[in-house]
Each structure stands twice: as structure tokens, then as C-alpha cells.
Amino acid sequence: MMVLANNTRFFKEEETQWEVVGEDVQRQIVGFDDRVMMVNVKFEKGAIGPLHNHHHTQVTHIAVGTFEVTIEEETRILKKGDSFYIPSNKIHGVVCLEEGILIDVFSPMREDFIK
């Protein structure tokens, strides 16, 4: 089982670094093992999470802000408190309409996020 670099089972926001992953987008890995991973993703207004797909199943909760969310051919406007589910290998992406934070949960964990 993998654990965070600091070998803790507890997440403290001020002790976990944000990583720049795109223009106006940052990622903060909260915790993971080989079966599941949770990640905070911070977006500035207008930032884009481009359309993509991966073999992981994903559930995302909107903690802050408003996003235009596309999954396959369907697009919806979602806001703080809303969530969405993305099955494995489905095309998806977001546009941040109001500065926000997404909480992504992946299964299995995203090995490509770990350096």
C-alpha cells in the first residue's frame, strides 16, 4: 500500500503543497493507496480542464465555484455542492466559470500523478 510522502494518514491543508498542472490550474494530492486517490484541484476563473479520458473511474465534488462540465456529449452547469460521476474511458472536461475547487476521487489511484 502506498501512502503520502510524509507517511501520514491525516491531511493538513497547510502541510500539503499545490502543484501547477496547467494554466491557472493547481493540484493537491490529499491521500491515496493503490485502489483510490483523492485530489483537490484549484481553478482560476476561465481555466480549462481540457477534454480527455483515462481508465480510472472518477467521482468529483464541487467544493467551491461554478463549472461547465462535459461528459461525453452532455454538458451541464454545476455549482458548489454538486457532484458528477465519470465512468472509465469516457471523454470529459471542465471550464471554470467562477473561481473554484474540485475534489476528485479516482479508482484505481492515478499513478501518473505521482512523481
pLDDT interval class at 1 (50, 70, 90): very low
pLDDT of residue 9: 81
Peptide bond into 87 cis (omega under 30): no
Which residue type, as a one-letter code, is found at position 13?
A: E
CATH number of the domain enclosing 56: 2.60.120.10
Asked, for residue 55, whether it belongs to a domain, the answer is yes
- Local structure of 12: helix, strand or coil: coil
**Domain containing residue 76:** 18-113
pLDDT in tens, 11-35: 888 988 999 999 999 999 999 988 9
Task: Determine whether 108 is exposed, middle or buried from the number of CB atoms within 10 Å of its CB (0-12, 13-18, 19+).
Answer: middle
Number of domains into which the chain is organized? 1
pLDDT in tens, 37-89: 999 999 999 999 999 999 999 999 999 999 999 999 999 999 999 999 999 99
